[in-house]
Structure 1
Amino acid sequence: MEIVNVRIDERLVHAQVAAVWASALNATRIIVIDDGAAQDEVQQVALKMACPKSVKLTILAADRAVEKLKEPAYPDDRIFIVMKGIKTLNKITKMGYIFPEVNIGNLNDKEGGIQIRRSVRLSDEQIALILDLHEKGIKFVSQLVPSEDKVNLIDLIKEKV
């Protein structure tokens, strides 16, 4: 099992993730880690429809995802992980699974927050969680599309706050 990218994108699987990212990463499986999506059949159908036919899709709640990642359950797959928000990443980290690098691709605090990049607006709570998770060893980058260079998100946050 090779995890080729971990992305936080509040839209989960959509055209950019499905067509652009999955293809560029040569992903064979997209794993959506989201407690809500794991229990919502309508959302699961929508996610399946958005996923390319050539890529397997797995939708898991955070606790089940940690079990599967620790096994590892998908030994022959190139895995692209997508989560909706920082809280899910924090939950996974508290359960003992730490991703070495996480791409904050599209996250937009609707209540205001601080504009970090064009597609990233973070609340004070999200910033605090990111900084705390960074202290635990997670490298945070921001990269909207694969053709764009990765940007160190921690540096951007420190410039803005």
Structure 2
Amino acid sequence: MGEPNILLTRIDNRLIHGQVAVTWSNHLGTNLILVANDEVSKDQVQQSLMDMAAPENVQTRYFSIQKCIDIIHKAAPHQKIFIVVRTPEDVLKLVEGGVPLKKVNIGNMHFSEGKKQITSTVSVDENDLNVFKKLTDKNIECIIQRVPDEIGKDIKKFF
């Protein structure tokens, strides 16, 4: 089929919620939010909750990382895909599996033990930074940006 029409990939531990569902979806003009997450792909309750947040005119899909890798190239040309994942590692797995990503929006990575806060919504540890370095070494732009009208920050500033 050709290359899938992936508009953007976002890292957000909350996956689909108001910012993703409304602000980013409208800004991008997406018609499909694809959540690539092993846990959520098997959890109907989480999927139902996220479906409630998604706009009516936007379809949702919940795939494991591997299923996303396996079928993304079968996407129809009219599908304007917005991929949402939970972690930088998920993005790296997608890229290493052949998913053609060019830009990653780093939206929300919660603070937890061992992480340092680098912006108001993003906390990272050494592993996260190493993964971002691998992604940028593959010429994938990684920008921290909460909402579309905010000026993004290149993750390379934090290496």
- Please confirm whether the aligned pair reaches a TM-score higher than 0.5, indicating the same fold: yes
- Determine if the alignment matches structure 1 residue 55 to structure 2 residue 58: yes
Unaligned stretches of 5+ residues in structure 1: none
> Percent same amino acid at aligned positions?
31
Look up the equivalent residue of 1:69 and give its one-letter code: I
Note the 1:35-114 alignment, pairs <5 A.
Answer: 35-71=38-74, 73-114=75-116
- Tell me, in whole angstroms, the C-alpha distance in 2 between the residues paired with 1:133 and 1:68: 22
Backbone CA RMSD of aligned residues: 1.4
- Report the TM-score, using the length of structure 1 for normalisation: 0.90
User: In the TM superposition, what are the counterparts of 1:1-161 in structure 2 within 5 Å?
Assistant: 1-71=4-74, 73-155=75-157, 157-158=158-159
Give TM-score scaled by structure 2 length: 0.91
The answer to which structure has the higher strand fraction is: 1
**Alignment check: 8 A CA contact 1:109 1:123 kept:** no
**Matching residue's letter, 1:123:** D
Superposed structure 1 runs of 4+ greater than 6 Å apart: none
Letter of the 1:20 counterpart: T
User: Structure 2 unaligned runs (5+)?
Assistant: none
Could you tell me whether the CA contact under 8 Å between 2:12 and 2:107 is conserved in 1? yes
Give the aligned residue type for 1:39: K
Per the TM alignment, residue 38 of structure 1 is displaced from its structure 2 partner at its CA by 0.4
